A and B are shown apart, each in its own frame.
Chain A
Amino acid sequence: MTDDALVQLVTRVVHGDIAEADIPWAVIDPGQLSTFRFLMRHETARLRRLRHRASPAQRRALTLLRGLLTPSQCATLRRHRYVEVATPQHLYRIYPSKGITRRVVRRKTKTFAVIRYCYHDPDAHLPPADVALAHFLWLHADEGAFLHSANAHLTRTFHA
């Protein structure tokens, strides 16, 4: 299968033209499988981001969030698509496009995510930027309550 055909196949699967159960595995060369999987992940994430960006609810939520940010946080959000919040104990990055928060640590010039926090509304189906705004407010107002209530997923372990 040519690279172009592989990309077309990925696009059709991600857009729902071909069900995942109907993927013609036989026509994909074994050497192309990892590329196929990579493209599937990449295209799915890209499509999700585009859908959220286009959603009026997400845009309204982002407007509200930006109203609470400092100019520097707004610039970081524009450039890197996250908001950094520094509390006395920790440094966090909040991702309005995903509605998640990561605790990060800095080592020399690099920054590593160590814990990912999930804390969302079970009923209201808030857009991701609203979930991020809720994280932002909780971290500023009561970091302890946020850490107590959110589900923490360890992503990396550091030895000092």
Chain B
Amino acid sequence: MEVGGRSTLDVLNASGHLSIAWDVDNEAEVKAAEEAIEALKARGYAFFEATGVPGKLTIQKAPAPSPKRRGARKRHVAIPPMAGG
């Protein structure tokens, strides 16, 4: 989600979720976010993005977000690998 230039990626984990936030204009934050996203990709996380406003969201599976890219208002969620149980 982009709020006033900041984007966030919500990563589902045992504590509920972890939010990774970055400002596209802040190089240090973008680098940290890129590293975190690369680590999630390596661990097989699936990425989803929700576009639109709450109540009228379009949800789709998407590639991992690119912190450097400026884009429309989006919300990103990463979920760990799952299996039928």
Contact = CB atoms under 8 A, between A and B. Distances in A.
A33 interface: no
Interface stretch (A22-30, A43-51, A102-110, A127-135): A127-135
B50 A68 contact: yes
Contact of B12 (A67, A130, A140): A130
Contacts of A150: 84
A15 to B, nearest CB: 25
B: interface residue count bin: 20 to 34
Given A68-B50, A71-B55, A141-B61, A118 B12 contact: no
Given A121-B82, A124-B80, A68 B14 contact: no
A116 B55 CA distance: 26
Given A70-B55, A119-B82, A142 B61 contact: yes
B2 to A, nearest CB: 14
Nearest to A61: B16
Interface in B59-80: 59-61, 75, 77, 79-80
B42 interface: no
B55, B75, B79 pick with most chain A CB within 10 angstroms: B79
B54 interface: yes
10 contacts: A56-B16, A60-B16, A68-B59, A122-B83, A124-B12, A124-B80, A126-B13, A137-B77, A145-B61, A150-B84
Given A68-B75, A126-B14, 6 more contacts: A64-B12, A67-B75, A118-B85, A119-B82, A121-B83, A137-B59
Closest 5 CB pairs of A and B: A60-B16, A151-B84, A140-B59, A118-B85, A141-B61
Interface of B: 10, 12-17, 48, 50, 54-57, 59-61, 75, 77, 79-85
